[in-house]
Amino acid sequence: MRRISRRSFVQAGAMTAGALGSVSLAPGTWLAFAGPASEKGYFETQFGITDSVCRRLLEAALSKGGDFADLYFEHTISNYLGLEDGEVNRASTDVDLGVGIRTVRGDQVGYAFTQDLTEKSMLAAASVAATIADSAAGSCAPQFVKVQTGNYYPVKTLFAAVPVSTKLPVVQSVNDKIFSKSKLVTKVSCTFHDQQKRILVVTSDGHKGEDLLPRSFLYATAVGEKDGRKETAGWNLGGRRDFSYYTEDLVDRLVSEVISRLLQAFEAVQAPAGEMPVVLAPGVTGILLHEAIGHGMEADFNRKKVSTYSTMIGKKVAEPFVTIIDDGTNEKQVGSINIDDEGVPSQRTVLVDQGILATYLHDRISAKHYKVKPTGNGRRESYRYYPLPRMRNTYMLNGPATPDEVIRKAGNGIYVEDVANGQVKIGEGDFAFYVSRGRMIENGRLTAPIKDMNIMGNGPKMLLNVTMVANDLKMSEGGAGACGKYGQAVPVSFGLPTILVNSMTVGGVRRQGAQS
């Protein structure tokens, strides 16, 4: 990543420094593509990226043929603030600027990027991308039409306009309040991360879209000690939000959650092992849906016949009360996007409709292969990478049951509240996840807290084995979540109502029913 210090960045010139100035915006007014076609956008104003420059770059990318080409400009400012042992001991600002140029021929991609936004350097990158083809030159649209989209994360004040001195009291308050809540706490770490990412996507078929994507989170970890035993608990809150989100009430919520998790860890008993009913709590356990099932519905895995779902369109994959959504339009969720990284407007996509697999998650390449429209899932980590079909906010809709009914139906099993460190085989769908927090279910009631166990299974089989869905859908409220694929990490979110999986393999330390 091209990273320079804030001081060096400010000294680099007035054009760049203007991006760090104090800016206050009314909600929605920053969307450059919402204006008339002649209105200048951020990249034209700040870096001289005019339509004529874009057309020359696209013509160079198609100079040896190719079906399609696009440009992806990015300017990202990221700030990090860390507190440990009562002192702020880490602070940094990273700046990233560049363009990625892609030429597509069939399902093959030629790709190059440059951090130098001079026309000479960009034309050289376009010529490299063009080498994927070897035929007569392709054509570029004579003019570009701005993409019209929603505004799912309005920004009042840019993070670049918020000084470190304003953020410091937030992390200090988290530290002080966690220590004040419990005498068991021996150490606190707190981090505040914020980012503003501007993108411009221009395509050879005549589309142009700009976006500003905020992202931030406040993360706290507490270490406690009791009778010679140490436990650690952490939590984060955030999303596509500006600084106004981080109020005193928000800090109190974060602190209460961290302390609750820490105290529960001290009470946790040994988990059972074996095959048993598993209830997934609402919210963050949706990561299991994302990892074990969602990846198998990304269209590139199906186009290549890697996924179990590659022949399942129109077929039953779950019970009729199961509907699964991937949505880029949820307000302020970290996986939400106004446009994807191919310039396609975001949308809500129904993957599983009342138990039937309805569609896959498509980028432009897979959509052309399947002769359908892109679903707005072409995403990339940065301008250094070309886009792939990726999830956004993935969740299951509410079902007809209540949470209490689900737990009673489970009888005896485990209730999973949080999972981490998962491994998934995309093709087969086999998975294993570490359960960091949960409870026993005994005679249809939640009882003792448990931790430090694994749950294992097969994603498609687990989906078929969901026998009850409650009416309490909850989305993850964190901002730190990112999904990895082929070396690229993109921000995502997930959600789930309380669900019952009739049988799963639980790897605990004692067999169910045995004495600990």
Which tens digit of pLDDT belongs to each residue from 420-440? Answer: 877 888 888 899 999 999 999
Residue 326, C-beta contacts closer than 8 angstroms, at least 6 positions apart? 294, 297, 348, 349, 351, 361, 375, 377, 391, 392, 393, 394
Rg of the chain (C-alpha set): 24
Backbone angles phi, psi at 68, to 5 degrees: -165, 150
Residue 22: Cβ within 10 Å count: 10
| DSSP-assigned states of every residue in 207-223 | EEEEEEEEEEEEEEEEE
Q: What is the mean pLDDT of the chain?
A: 90
Find residue 441's DSSP bridge partners. Answer: 413, 446
Say which residue the tokens 């590139």 belong to: 300
* % of the chain at pLDDT higher than 90: 86
Amino acid 270: pLDDT: 86
d(CA 329, CA 349): 10
Which tens digit of pLDDT belongs to each residue from 9-64? Answer: 222 322 222 222 222 222 222 233 333 344 689 999 999 999 999 999 999 999 99
Q: Average pLDDT of 101-118?
A: 97
Which tens digit of pLDDT belongs to each residue from 141-196? Answer: 999 999 999 999 998 889 989 999 999 999 999 999 999 999 999 999 999 999 99
Residue burial 285-322, b: 16+ Cβ < 10 Å; e: rest: bbbbbbbbbbbbbbbbbbbeebbbbbebeeeebbbebb
Report the candidate in 374, 47, 72, 74 with the shortest Cα–Cα distance to residue 213. 74
Q: Which letter does DSSP use for residue 156 in this model?
A: S
Q: What is the enclosing helix (H) or strand (E) of 186? A: strand 185-203
Residue 413, C-beta contacts closer than 8 angstroms, at least 6 positions apart? 276, 277, 278, 279, 441
Reading the block at residue 69, the tokens are: 């080409």
- Kindly tell me if the per-residue pLDDT of 5 is higher than 80: no
The β-bridge relationship of strands 510-511 and 272-280 is parallel
Indicate the length of the chain as a whole number.
516
- Kindly tell me if the per-residue pLDDT of 219 is higher than 50: yes
Q: Which letter does DSSP use for residue 147 in this model?
A: P
Amino acid 481: pLDDT: 85
- Residue 409's pLDDT band, with cuts at 50, 70 and 90, is very high
| DSSP-assigned states of every residue in 303-322 | HTT-SGGGG-TTSB-S-TT-
Say which residue the tokens 């649209």 belong to: 141
Which tens digit of pLDDT belongs to each residue from 186-210? Answer: 999 999 999 999 999 999 999 999 9
- Kindly tell me if the per-residue pLDDT of 515 is higher than 80: no
- Kindly tell me if the per-residue pLDDT of 308 is higher than 60: yes
d(CA 501, CA 318): 12
d(CA 86, CA 186): 11
Residue 516: Cβ within 10 Å count: 9
Sketch out the chain's domains with CATH numbers: 159-198+210-266 (3.30.160.100), 272-510 (no CATH)
Q: Average pLDDT of 89-94?
A: 93
- Residue 508's pLDDT band, with cuts at 50, 70 and 90, is low
d(CA 171, CA 254): 11
The β-bridge relationship of strands 466-469 and 229-239 is unpaired
Q: Which letter does DSSP use for residue 290 in this model?
A: I
d(CA 277, CA 279): 7
Q: Does pTM top 0.95 for this prediction?
A: no
Please report, as a single letter, which amino acid is at residue 500: L
Report the candidate in 240, 427, 453, 250 with the shortest Cα–Cα distance to residue 333. 240
